[in-house]
Structure formats: C-alpha cells, structure tokens
Amino acid sequence: MAKTYFGFALADSMFAGLGDTTIRRHSLTVDEVKELESSLIPCLNPSHEATIQAMRSRFGLDIQIPATPPRVALERGDSVVVMGVRGLPRLTDRHEYTEAEVAAASFAFTLYSVE
C-alpha cells in the first residue's frame, strides 16, 4: 500500500532502497494538502516545533509531531509532501516566531512521488 509522508525536506537516504528511479514533482495548494492531511505520515523533527507552529497558525494544518521521527524508506508508489519555507529567521536565542515573521515568510508545498 502506497504511503504519503509529510516533512520539511527530502533526504537522499529516503531513496536508498530504490536504486535508479524516476521522481515526479508536483506543486500543491494548501487546499490540496488539507485534502491529504488525514492520510499523511509525519516525518517531522520535534526540534522544528517553531516551524510546525508557524504552519499551524498560517494554514490551519494540524500535522502531529511524532516523539521520534520515523525512518523513511520510500518504495515505488510512495510520496512525500514537502513544505518549503523561505524568509523565517534562524532561531538562535528564542523558541518561536513572531506573527509578523510568519506573515512575511513564504511557504510552498510540493509532492514528490516515486514512480
């Protein structure tokens, strides 16, 4: 059964068991992500809680933070929804973003599918 993960990045290790393969990339709207939300398997790192909270406040997405992120080993037919963020500063001396920082940032959702 095909799985769809949700994370903030792709890692080469996700594709380790596949050998040579084709990956399809497709941009998603927030509404399309919301349609998938209940079936998404989160592969989020708890250390990114501030970014997850920014996603929740900006889009109303309630992707849960796993206590330990799963080790993702994609198989043919599996997908990963990646939320890319630009414009949020690195948090070095605090643990959350301001509303203004979240409002000024850009977010993009992309579906990567293994064919």
- Domain membership of residue 28 (yes or no) is no
d(CA 74, CA 18): 8
- Domain membership of residue 110 (yes or no) is no
The pTM of the full predicted model, rounded to 2 decimals, is 0.90
Query: In total, how many domains does the chain have?
Result: 1
Asked if 41 contacts 4 with a C-beta cutoff of 8 angstroms, the reply is: yes
The letter for the amino acid at 100 is: A
Is residue 8 scored above 90 in pLDDT?
A: yes
- The secondary element (H helix, E strand) that includes residue 98 is none
The letter for the amino acid at 79 is: S
- Domain membership of residue 111 (yes or no) is no
- Domain membership of residue 114 (yes or no) is no
Rounded average pLDDT over 19-28: 95
What integer pLDDT is reported at residue 94 of this predicted model?
64
- Domain membership of residue 55 (yes or no) is yes
Q: Which domain holds residue 43?
A: 1-19+39-76+89-105
Which residues on adjacent β-strands are paired with residue 109? 28, 83
Is residue 46 scored above 70 in pLDDT?
A: yes
- Domain membership of residue 32 (yes or no) is no
- Domain membership of residue 94 (yes or no) is yes
Rounded average pLDDT over 41-63: 89
